[in-house]
Structure 1
């Protein structure tokens, strides 16, 4: 059996005991190497919750890492209205890092083109019926959302890699398990039902306080949750945060406090019915005030507080003309970024790169501050400041000695 170093584990508050010393070898004594390597259901019962361990956990089939915070995310979409009138819709199951940052599209070899075909090949008609009912895409193409969620998030889950399953397992069982667990967790968190039980129901007249909504959901979930409102001060998203003991499929999901502050006003929150909603007519008629730019934003990307800017390949440069970048609303949230070279992504080296053959990734844009971010990482870094005609790659996060915000200077 592969040697695994001892772990010093502090038990969670539910145990309220002193730290104990144990080894995974002791826990797994008597199990064969094949079972340990391939059987996802044979994880030790004493393995710590994600993000609570004090030393490295060696077996990635039993310990979700680095995405140790699991978010179950739900949407209330009324414009256009999708899903049942008395139910939030499922958006996804996301593995965030313990600090709130996250990875995406982690393993291209795991990516799929059709969730429906895979689920049908396993006879999962009931699961597909549930997904068709409440795992909805606002544009009507539910399949594209299902595929996107697995390719973006499922490929970053270490405990559902095919190598974690018995050798005789039918291919794609891990993909089926991803969708099953996402639906199962969603059904255990009936947001609409919990709100209705406390008198919080959709209404065109009634409004609610943030504290009222948060307290209602937190009382049912067991920990503070994250709620998000849109530009109409209407509730639109609810996120439930968990730590995980064991694998994505068989593990125990422990509710934890949300890692983000809710993004809703203190009062006057609307819960808009999924029927006959009409957005308010804009009241601004002053010709001196620029009209809204719509879904496309253009500008120059500059490392804040540093010389130079980004050129069209995505590198930092100080001796040439700044490239113009376009931010376009992405289908599933956030923005796709594009230069004259093509779409931009974070490449396999962790660098920002734009090119003709690039499949776009989702970036976030803070309109108030003008910052471009990626994967929950608010700052960027580089190994050095460019000199002369040198081009320097930049990366999201704090891996380099030079740190900065990446600001978009808007262009007309």
Structure 2
């Protein structure tokens, strides 16, 4: 961990806690009930061991360098060149994510035959999720002395296809700063809220900004301010007045109620509107800090 999974800001333990809360708690085979001789903390240790094991098999920097793609403060690259270089080595398509125009994450996908602990990880194409990098002009910044790359970190995230059963870890109090809104229904995490305010299970979770307002906080995404409009959660540039939300036990609440509703649990590329009034499926949204 101290060698292969560092936080670019130097807050290793906080970073590891975030990774466990966002990813590890969603893997069904890491549930303590799945162990025959369970000892406290075994599930977390297995999660981190497997993540490091996979990371060591994915020398992304070397693979990019072999294709003439190296960190630079002046050069830029195309998304197609980066993904082609990685696919040539990995054997399957990868997803690249950018922040402020700079390469920030590389996602590799696997199908798991068996459990996370003892199963076989089989490389595969992603499930349809697309990266957010522009087609061209992508920066690939050198690491700074503190381990970051310019103004942002270059991290390598491993994506695995697993069954979700455990709830994510929420903040417990009022939302603040940047974070995700993970969806929990029938005791299981099922996707999250994306930038328009809809519930989705196949795409990348939107980053929301929570800002203190009155007795609660407002939310905004890349689409704009978020509000309950006509009983529907909407985030858009057309929203002139953001709704002031509150938090109930780490869950998003509107008018003091943390229960929201949808017509169905999203599947595939289908998005579901989120309602405050009763519909077929009840869902709650847990805040996860970035």
Q: Residue 123 of structure 2 is aligned with which of 250, 255, 259?
A: 255
Describe how 1:205-224 pairs up with structure 2 within 5 A.
Answer: 205-224=74-93
TM-score, length of structure 1 as denominator length: 0.41
**By how many angstroms is 1:142 displaced?**
0.7
Q: Which residue matches 1:181?
A: 50
**Which of 152, 165, 172 is equivalent to 2:35?**
165
Per-residue CA deviations over 1:349-383 (Å, capped at 9, x if unaligned) read xxx53699x9xxxxxxxxxxxxxxxxx98533449
- How far, CA to CA, are the matches of 1:134 and 1:207 in structure 2? 26
Distance across 2 between alignment mates of 1:383 and 1:296: 20
Computing the radius of gyration over CA atoms, which structure comes out larger, 1 or 2? Answer: 1
> What SS class does the counterpart of residue 105 from structure 2 fall into?
strand
Shift of 1:307: 5.3
CA distance in 2, matches of 1:185, 1:174: 17
Matched, 1:145 2:15: yes
Q: Deviation string for 1:70-125 (max 9, x for gaps)? A: xxxxxxxxxxxxxxxxxxxxxxxxxxxxxxxxxxxxxxxxxxxxxxxxxxxxxxxx
Larger relative contact order (CA 8 Å, sep ≥ 6): 2
| 1:380 and 2:250 matched | no
Size of the aligned set, in residue pairs, is: 198
For the Cα contact (< 8 Å) 2:228–2:243, is it kept in 1?
no
TM-aligned CA deviation for residue 184 of structure 1: 0.3
1:191 has 2:53 as partner: no
Contact 1:345 1:353 in 2 (8 A): no
Partners of 2:29 and 2:283 lie apart in 1 by 27
Residue in 2 that maps onto 1:395 = 283
3-state SS of the aligned residue for 1:205?
coil
Gap regions ≥5 residues in structure 2:
152-208, 212-217, 220-224, 235-240, 259-268, 286-290
Give the conservation status (yes or no) of the 8 Å contact 1:242–1:255: yes
Distance 1:143 1:307, change over 3 A: closer
* C-alpha distance after superposition, 1:313-369 (max 9, x if no partner): xxxxxxxxx9733xxxxxxxxxxxxx3x446755xxxxx53699x9xxxxxxxxxxx
Residues 278 and 253 (structure 1), Cα distance of their counterparts in 2 relative to 1, 3 Å cut: closer
Quick one: distance in 2 between partners of 1:177 and 1:151? 14
- Structure holding more strand per residue: 2
| Cα deviation code 1:182-219 (max 9, x no counterpart) | 11011111111111111110012222121111101011
C-alpha distance in structure 1 between counterparts of 2:116 and 2:69, whole Å: 32
Deviations 1:269-318 (A, max 9, x none): 21111238777xxxxxxxxxxxxxxx6554674456x35779xxxxxxxx
Find the aligned partners of 1:172 and 1:355 in 2 and give their Cα distance: 38
Tell me: CA distance 1:188–1:202, structure 2 relative to 1, closer, same or farther (3 Å).
same
Please show how residues 83-94 of structure 1 align to structure 2 within 5 Å: none
Describe how 1:25-104 pairs up with structure 2 within 5 A.
none
Partner of 1:6: none
**CA–CA distance in 1 between the matches of 2:142 and 2:120?**
34
Query: Map of 1:319-398 to 2, 5 A cutoff?
Result: 324-325=243-244, 339=245, 341-342=246-247, 345-346=250-251, 352-353=252-253, 378-382=271-275, 395=283
2:133 is the alignment partner of 1:245? no
